[in-house]
Amino acid sequence: MYSGRSIILVAALLALASPLSAQDASTLKKDMVGQWELATTDRSKTCVVTLKGDTTPLGMKLELEPGCAAALPFTKDITAWNIKGLGDIVRLQDAASQPVIDFTEVESGIFEGLRTNEGVYILQNLAAARSLAKSMDQMIGDWSMVRGNGQAVCGLTLTNTEAAQDNFQVFLKPKCDPAVAAFAPTQWRLDHGQMLLMSSKGETWQFEADDNAQWRKVPDSADPLIMIRGQ
């Protein structure tokens, strides 16, 4: 049996947990007000959702841009949004307050939701999503790998052709340096400000931007490898 002291302790913990949960939910609800991009993981289909702070009997108000239903058919059922779970789930719901899709935060400002038999969808701050898309567009095309002395060692082409989830195809040009040819990257992506090249063997090379047209392999070395726009 529980002692009187144990019961008091449990009751105190429960009393503390409830306000914390309510505070977390209130903070998330406030943070979510604004414009968001709802999209497939490769952003081939997107929809702008405006989450509002106005309450209704069934949840919080929202607006979907006109093209949403055509791009993502399930959005036609969405009529409101809310915070659920322990204050950590962003729910887009239907007129009966049932979930159309639930999102949880996987990193700051980026939420993931799963629809059975459809796959994963991303909810991301609209400005951040468009900034990433612009950055991606700027990366597409021909690049040269050069050493620190400016000697070219390989040419490669970054494409916007999807290779795997969040990754895109990259092609090496003939006559590459043996070290680059042995690495043989087949995929690339932008990730937290870095450009990643990945091989079919599971190896990854990381590059950080020196400026808008030059990326340096990290960690740095005495004989650095740099990617510059192809001439």
Per-residue pLDDT of 147-187, as tens digits, reads 888 889 999 999 988 887 778 999 999 989 999 999 999 99
What pLDDT score was predicted for residue 127?
82
Based on the fold, state whether residues 104 and 192 are members of the same structural domain: no
The two counts, helices (H) then strands (E), for the chain are 4, 16
pLDDT of residue 213: 65
Share of the chain above pLDDT 70, in %: 88
Domain count, the chain: 2
Assess whether pLDDT exceeds 50 at residue 18: no
Residue 106 scores a pLDDT above 80:
yes
User: Do 207 and 146 fall into the same domain?
Assistant: yes
Burial (Cβ within 10 Å: 0-12, 13-18, ≥19) of residue 153: middle
Q: Which domain holds residue 212?
A: 140-229
Q: Determine the Cα–Cα distance for residues 86 and 149; give it in Å rounded to an integer.
A: 56
The whole-number average pLDDT for the span 8-23 is 40
Instruction: Identify which has the larger pLDDT, 164 or 125.
Output: 125
- On whether both 109 and 160 belong to a single domain, the answer is no
Give pLDDT, residue 45. Answer: 87
> Which of 126, 148, 182 is at the close of a domain?
126
At 208 the pLDDT is 86
In a domain, 190, yes or no: yes
Q: What per-residue confidence (pLDDT) applies to 6?
A: 42
Q: Tell me: the pLDDT tens digits for 44-58?
A: 789 999 999 999 888
Instruction: Decide if pLDDT at 7 tops 70.
Output: no
> What does pLDDT average to over the chain?
84
For residues 18 and 3, give the distance between their C-alpha atoms in angstroms, rounded to a whole number. Answer: 23
Q: Are residues 156 and 94 in the same domain?
A: no
In a domain, 148, yes or no: yes
- CATH code at position 218: 2.40.128.10
More confident residue, 5 or 30: 30
In terms of Cα–Cα distance, which of 122, 153, 131, 117 is closest to 47?
A: 122
Residue finishing a domain among 126, 149, 173: 126
